[in-house]
Structure 1
Amino acid sequence: MSEDSGDSGGGASAEGMGTAVKTGMAVGGLGCLMSPVAMTVAISSVFVIGGFGVLFAPLIALILFFGGGGGGGDGGADAPDPDRIAGIIQGDGSGEFDPKSVPEGMADPITEAGALCPDIGPVVIAAQIDQESGFRSDKTGPDGEQGVSQLPPDVFTRLGKDDDDNGKTSALDAADSILAQGRFMCELADQLRPLVSAEPLGDLLSLTLAAYDAGPDAVREAGRVPRTNASQQYVLAVRAKFAIYEGAVPASPPTQDTEGQ
């Protein structure tokens, strides 16, 4: 869109950097800005996600420096590769899923949910769960969302099944929640596919992630990832976690809260 192209100058880059920094801090659970040492591993490249130019240097630096919330690395042979991480963040989330990166008992439903359609892989599912609930199966959201995937209640009622065969269908059951998440993501991808062919500034995964967070109507109305801080930060935050669940960043596996199960 012509009006959008005018936003790709210094102002947009500064805004993108601010978003990347805030997202990186959220990903790593940080309470302080990155040190100058971290900047030495940054990549000074501009990538396009959902039609916006985002300067990933501060985000990559934060991920590498803080190891995505675990690990660390000393710059040796096993240190994270910033170029690989940049490619993963910008990619389609179809990389190989590391089952050791998620709480025990969640790898199988995440793998199954990530095999329901070719557009959504298990890495995407895991990164979303991390962003939505931090793998807390007992979490309740402000609008009644429940479980690890934090689906709107009406969506879970429609798409939820007894996927763990325990005799009940509940968003508080991790498998039920995760498989419903996978069905919903595949459904959103199908709904938004025509928008990708009509709008070159949007990629299907970013549009689908934005629709999961803000609703498909908001994405259709915008014709892209909505130009709001909430939508932009959600898409970037989920993408920033891809490297963790592909095993590209050393991180301690999260634990699952199971009070709701």
Structure 2
Amino acid sequence: MKVVVGAAAAVIGIIVLGILGVVAVVMADDDAAAAGTSGDGSLRGVPEEYRTWILKADDACKEPEMTPALLAAQLEQESGFQQRAASSVGAQGPAQFMPGTWATWGRDDDHSGEASPWDIGDAVMGQGRMMCSLLGQAKSSGYPGDVRALALAGYNAGWQRVQQFRGVPPKSFAGGQTYNYVRTILAAMPRFEGPGLLQVAGSGDGPDALRRAAARIGTPYAWGGGGPGGPSLGYCDGTNGYLGGKCAASSTVGFDCSSLVQYSYWPHVQLPRTAAAQYGATSDHPVSRTDLQPGDLLFWSHGGSSGSIYHVAIYAGDGTVLQAPRTGRDVELAPLTSAMPQSDYYGATRP
């Protein structure tokens, strides 16, 4: 049986408990704290609006193989955390339920008056119920292999296919769709695992933006990707977005530095898309380096002019910044002094 550990009450202020190089994530908010988390219930790199529901779905399942990271990696594979995702075969919502399957697992968990696969809460709780049941079936089946892999295969292809092959369907089945689905999710799980080391409390535009950005730690960097709605595929422009001589951005769902900032402040403060434009929109509220507060924006420039600003980050307190650094890296917490070349530091503003 899973051990449930009560979450701490809200902490006043912002305390960075990690050492340099340790990736940190936002602690569970009040709703998540009320729900509790499992003994291995650490979670990072998910949108704030999904976090509470993932923890609740995990807590509701007593199968020890169920973890928040498993649900998060599955949601990323199913929809990229896009609430209005729809497939060509009729799958709906963040967890991509077919109507017939939704009729079995769907409930009005968010108490909106309707059980809907398009609602984040309803979808994630339905996903959790179905995966919990499949984990139980996998354990009692006696089939060889990781029970998580068997459950994921049942979610993707139907349990009857797992029974047909007495395991995860092979590459030859359905063009390898289920085989690759399982492998991708299991490989992605570590990106969503990790203890909460960045605690954000308080309200206001700055703390709220920092809290939302911290929930995205671990999300890949994608040049040109991301926006107010969350991460998306990036693109290469002839100079940016490449890794090892290949265009990495066009196959990466993520944020770049300015889209992370835009996403974090949206919709209460609707900042423009690029770092230079964000400086222009907030430069009438400059902040000295000695007066920085959580949520302030920091800018770096080539050549010391506002027209050459190339990077923006969010001040996270205690001399650290939260940023999407560059291609090949993930959204991270980093020391202000080494986030970018110190000689390029241009200034800070308060949106």
TM range (shorter): 0.5 to 0.7
Q: Work out the CA distance in 2 between the residues paired with 1:115 and 1:224.
A: 27
Deviations 1:187-218 (A, max 9, x none): 112223222x3x3x312111001111111011
> Is the CA contact 1:94–1:122 (under 8 Å) kept in the aligned structure 2?
no
Partner of 1:182, secondary structure, is helix
Matched-pair contact (CA < 8 Å) for 2:134–2:151: yes
Deviation at 1:256, TM superposition (A): 8.2
In structure 2, relative to structure 1, the CA distance for the partners of 1:222 and 1:94 (3 Å cut) is farther
Which residue matches 1:124?
Answer: 70
- Amino acid paired to 1:221: Q
Seen in structure 2, the aligned counterparts of structure 1 residues 241 and 191 have a Cα distance that, compared at 3 Å, is same
Structure-2 residue corresponding to 1:252: 219
Question: Pick from 180, 189, 206: which aligns with 1:242?
Answer: 189
> How far apart, CA to CA, are the structure 1 residues paired with 2:227 and 2:115?
23
Q: Does 1:111 align with 2:55?
A: yes
Q: Which has the higher contact order (CA 8 A, sep 6+)?
A: 1
- Give yes or no for the alignment of 1:183 onto 2:183: no
Task: Classify the secondary structure of the residue corresponding to 1:105.
Answer: helix
Query: What is the aligned counterpart of 1:157 among 94, 103, 106?
Result: 103
The residue aligned with 2:169 is: 226
Q: Distance in 1 between matches of 2:169 and 2:80?
A: 24
2:179 and 2:22 mapped to 1: Cα distance? 29
| Deviation at residue 170 of structure 1 after TM alignment | 0.8
Which residue does the alignment assign to 1:205?
Answer: 148
Question: TM-score of the superposition, structure 2-length normalised?
Answer: 0.43
Within 5 Å, give how 1:1-261 maps onto structure 2: 78=21, 95-98=40-43, 100-117=44-61, 118=63, 119-195=65-141, 197=142, 199=143, 201-228=144-171, 229-247=176-194, 251-252=218-219, 257=229
Corresponding letter in the other structure for 1:251: G
- Cα-to-partner distance string for 1:4-32 (whole Å, 9 max, x where unaligned): xxxxxxxxxxxxxxxxxxxxxxxxxxxxx
Residues 156/94 of structure 1: CA separation in 2 closer, same or farther (3 Å cut) = farther
- Take 2:20 and 2:53, find their aligned partners in 1: how far apart are those partners? 33
The structure having more radius of gyration, on CA atoms, is: 2
The residue matched to 1:114 in structure 2 has which SS?
Answer: helix
Aligned residues: CA RMSD = 2.8
Q: How many residues were matched structurally? A: 167
Match of 1:13 in 2: none
For the structure 1 residues 153 and 256, does the alpha-carbon distance in structure 2 shift closer, same or farther, using more than 3 Å as the test? farther
The whole-number CA distance in structure 2 between the counterparts of 1:165 and 1:156 is 17
**How far is the alpha carbon of 1:186 from its aligned partner?**
1.1
User: In structure 1, how many angstroms separate the alpha carbons of the residues matched to 2:71 and 2:39?
Assistant: 11
Residues of 2 paired with 1:256 and 1:160: CA distance?
Answer: 28
Normalising by structure 1, we get a TM-score of 0.57
Check the 8 A contact 1:94/1:123 in 2, yes or no. Answer: no
Offset at residue 95 of structure 1 (A): 3.8
**Partner amino acid for 1:244?**
R
Shift of 1:77: 6.0
Mapped to 2, the partners of 1:244 and 1:225 lie a distance apart of: 23
- Superposed CA deviations along residues 82-125 of structure 1, whole A, max 9, x for unmatched, are xxxxxxxxxxx984322x42112211110011122223221111
Paired letter, 2:57: A
- Structure 2's unaligned 5+ residue stretches are 1-18, 24-37, 196-215, 221-225, 231-351
- Structure 1 unaligned spans of 5+: 1-75, 81-92
Are the structure 2 counterparts of residues 141 and 256 from structure 1 closer, same or farther at C-alpha, using a change threshold of 3 Å?
A: farther
Distance of aligned partners of 1:216 and 1:231 in 2 relative to their CA distance in 1, 3 Å threshold: same
